[in-house]
Structure 1
Amino acid sequence: MLTMEDIIRDGHPTLRKVAAEVAMPPSEEDKQILSSLLEYVINSQNGEIASLYSLRPGIGLAAPQINVSKRMIAVHLTDDKGNLFSYALFNPKIISHSVEKAFLQAGEGCLSVDEAIPGLVPRHARVTVKGTTLTGEEVKLRLKGLAAICFQHEIDHLNGVMFYDYIDKQDPFKPIEGAIAIER
């Protein structure tokens, strides 16, 4: 089981690398890694398990965050309408996105970043993501709101991009024109 000890911190070189594609069909080892990413995110949201194992709660985790430079992400969240998005994906890719922007009102956080970094992170309001599940099924997800933001955050990790790279350094809370404000 993954713990906070397994998650590398901001400044580690793996977080700035472009991760490698996972060969299909995935190896047992790759399946195990991806499965453990999803298990961490689910466990981190369970108060009892999280406190027992000192897990910091998260809604997404990417393989580079555990020092595995491969294109794998896990997301587990419920949106404001109560829809559950629980996915573990190999080689996720954003295949289309809206022109319209969105941002989390409270800003974004990251399991690899220990301190809070205030500021607005502009994201696409809607994205379509393609990827392969643990069972080998190819999925195409049309996402908006918190789910769209979370998937963009995790896919950025696969490209060596951190959420704070998008924050305006001069004016972190500069309004993002025409963007949708999303509450967490």
Structure 2
Amino acid sequence: MITMDDIIREGNPTLREVASEVSLPLSEEDIALGKEMMEFLKNSQDPIKAEELNLRGGVGLAAPQLDISKRIIAVHVPSADPVAEPTLSTVMYNPKILSHSVQDACLGEGEGCLSVDREVPGYVVRHAKVTISYYDADGQKQKIRLKNYEAIVVQHEIDHINGVMFYDHINEANPFSLKEGVLVID
């Protein structure tokens, strides 16, 4: 079971590497890693388990955050309705952004990261909509279109497999400046 002790923090060189493609067909090891990553996200969002296991809440996790330089990400975005299914819950192997909107978006509260133990103020501007291709745990190629919050979560995790941290997107001179037309998601 993955805990916060398994998650490397900023400064670790693995977080700045471009991760290696996962070979297909997927190995049992890579499938198991994806399942463990998803289990961590679900546990981190369960108030009782999160407290019991001392987990910070997360909606996404990338293999490089576990010091494993592979192109594997897990995302588990809960619905605003507590009884509804998550709006996005999947493990993506070798995810790629195929296309994106001209419009940009950012989260009004900024972004956080399980590998960053500090507040980093500022807007993290990303694409408002993205089309992603990836392989699922069965080795099937998938294509998905995402917008707004889900798109931002997946772009954050894809950044991790490309050696990019969320704060690399913040305007250093003026962290809260935005170009006209950027969608701010609350």
Q: Secondary structure at the match of 1:112?
A: coil
Cα distance per residue 1:9-59 (max 9 Å; x no partner): 000000000000000011111111111111111110000110110010000
Percentage identity across aligned positions? 52
| Structure 1 residue 53 corresponds to structure 2 residue 53 | yes
* 1:175 shift after superposition: 2.0
Alignment check: 8 A CA contact 1:59 1:76 kept: yes
Q: Which amino acid aligns with 1:44?
A: S
Correspondence list, 1:10-49, <5 A = 10-49=10-49
Superposition TM-score, scaled by structure 2 size: 0.95
CA distance in 2, matches of 1:36, 1:158: 17
Q: Which amino acid aligns with 2:182?
A: A
Superposition TM-score, scaled by structure 1 size: 0.96
Correspondence list, 1:70-81, <5 A = 70-78=70-78
The aligned counterpart of 2:183 is 180
- CA-based RMSD: 1.2
The aligned counterpart of 2:125 is 122
CA distance in 1, matches of 2:178, 2:34: 36
Count residues with an aligned counterpart.
183
The aligned counterpart of 2:6 is 6
The aligned counterpart of 1:159 is 162
| Structure 1 residue 99 corresponds to structure 2 residue 102 | yes
CA distance in 1, matches of 2:154, 2:8: 19
Q: Which amino acid aligns with 2:131?
A: T
Alignment check: 8 A CA contact 1:79 1:147 kept: no
Q: Which amino acid aligns with 1:107?
A: G
Which segments of 5 or more consecutive residues in structure 1 lack a partner in the other structure? none
Q: Secondary structure at the match of 1:95?
A: strand
Q: Which amino acid aligns with 1:93?
A: K
* 1:96 shift after superposition: 0.5
